[in-house]
Amino acid sequence: MDSNERIVTTYHAGDPAYLDSFAGMLPVSTLEVITTGDGWQAAPSSGEIKIRVNVTRGGYYTGEIIVRPAHNVVPRKQVRKRKFSDRINSDYAWE
């Protein structure tokens, strides 16, 4: 394996995730992967994921169903919680 190669973890509909938003990391349920996408590709964004928001915070409401780009829907296993901030490992893909 080349040292520049990415090791990408693949996730699917039903896997728990967070919505990376201005209101913080919101817990969501992934309902459908509309188009496949990567976590590291933000411009242009890749993939569309249909999610259900699990909390009410910052303009988002519990039960609200929305479609967001793959880089905004972060699998929970890719997030490392710290005391004052969260760290996101963007080496993931939705399929």
In a domain, 2, yes or no: no
Domain at 49, CATH number: 2.30.30
Residue 87 lies in a domain: no
pLDDT single digits (tens) 12-22: 999 999 999 99
* Inside any domain, residue 19: yes
Can you give the pLDDT at residue 16? 97
Domain-located, residue 70: yes
pLDDT at 3: 63
User: CB–CB of 13/95 below 8 Å?
Assistant: no
Residue 14, domain extent: 9-79
Q: How far apart are CA 36 and CA 78, in angstroms?
A: 17
Average pLDDT over every residue of 3-8: 77
Number of domain units in the chain: 1
Tens digit of each residue's pLDDT (9 = 90 or more) over 48-95: 999 999 999 999 999 999 999 999 999 999 999 888 888 999 999 999
